[in-house]
Amino acid sequence: MGDDTMTSAVRDKVIALIAEQAMLPVGDVRADASMADLGIDSLGLVESIFAIEEAFDISVPFNANEPSASDFDISTVASVVAGVEKLIAEQKG
């Protein structure tokens, strides 16, 4: 499996998890959307991160009190995908 294939598999899985949390069709989860755009509140965000950790067997550094303190960027769907890819590389590499 080439890097591009793996990356797109990660992206597809993250988007599927976010879509499930947002109760939206996968096609409605745009890369530039924020969690708030998708109707995901703080509790939904924490649940999404848990789902990501479980799906990829990684640990995501995230404290709801200071969401910007870690370098896991939750500002958009694309940034979450990038963050997950980085964590997979660091923790599973």
Partner 1 sequence: MRRVVITGQGTINALADTVAGTFEAFREGRCGIGPLEMRDVDRLAIQIGGQVKGYDPHAEFNRQEISLYDRFTQFTLHAAREAIGQSGLTFEGALAADSGVILGTSGGGLNTQDENYRAVYEEGKNRVHPFVVPKLMNNAATSHVSMRYNLKGPSFTVATACASSNHAMGQAFQFIRSGMATVMITGGSESMLCFGGVKAWEGLRVMSKDACRPFSANRNGMVQGEGAAIFVMEEYDHARKRGAEILAEVVGFAMTSDASDIVMPSRQGAARAMTGALRDARLNASDVGYINAHGTGTAANDKTECAAVSDAFGAHADDLMISSTKSMHGHVIGGTGAIELLACIMALREAVIAPTIGYEEPDPECALDVVPNEAREASVDTVLSNAFAFGGLNAVLALQAV
Binding site for partner 1 (CB under 8 A): 42-43, 46, 49-50, 62-66, 69
CB of 64 to partner 1, least distance (A): 4
CB of 59 to partner 1, least distance (A): 8
Q: How many CB atoms lie within 10 A of CB 73?
A: 14
* Cβ proximity to partner 1, 9 vs 46, nearer residue: 46
* Cβ proximity to partner 1, 5 vs 63, nearer residue: 63
Cα-atom radius of gyration of the chain, to the nearest Å? 12
1: which 2 tokens? Answer: 């499996």
Q: Which residues are CB-contacts of 34 (< 8 A; sequence separation ≥ 6)?
A: 75, 76
